[in-house]
Structure 1
Amino acid sequence: MSAPKRFTVMSREWCHLCHELVDALRPLAAEYGWAIEVIDVDQHPELEARWDELVPVLLHGEHELCHYHLDEAAVRAYCSGFPLESRA
């Protein structure tokens, strides 16, 4: 079973790069019909240990799409690999 169409952003509340990545991601997510989940790594020690200096990190499931800044071309290429859902 594939991961749901949801981006996950590993973030920090005080991180301006994190806020910029989420703001840049919003129109792209809307275009593809994907949800965005933002997780503050400082609230989860296991996530902070894993992602610490890489935040912001944009994920789909366990797949890392980019970090620090939105790589729109990489995200578009990744999203285009998903088949259209049946409307039947």
Structure 2
Amino acid sequence: MKPTTRLTLISRRYCHLCQDMEAALAVLAEELDFAVEVLDVDADVALEKRYDELVPVLLHDGRELCHYFLEVSKVRDYLSEIG
């Protein structure tokens, strides 16, 4: 059995775009069988320095897949690429 792909969402609590992306990712994750780890940008100085105004940011192994809005087709294509 292959390990589940884990995507990382850099987010913050009071960000409506972050909440929207997290909700959309939950639906997509169920369909495409991947996990999402949510990290609070404000809880980590290094994350805040790098991603502060870009949140939400979706990453896989340090590679940025999208920010501000979930680009579903881009995420689908990426996941099928790494398959």
TM-score when scaled to structure 2? 0.91
Deviation digits for residues 11-33 of structure 1, max 9, x if unmatched? 00110000000101111111121
CA distance in 1, matches of 2:30, 2:79: 12
Consecutive unaligned residues in structure 2, runs of 5 or more: none
Q: Cα distance, 1:77 vs. partner?
A: 0.4
Written as runs of structure 1 = structure 2, the 5 A alignment for 1:1-88 is: 5-83=5-83
> Identity of aligned pairs, percent?
51
TM-score when scaled to structure 1? 0.86
C-alpha RMSD over aligned residues: 1.0
Q: Which has the higher helix share?
A: 2
Q: Cα distance, 1:82 vs. partner?
A: 2.6
Equivalent pairs counted in the alignment come to 80
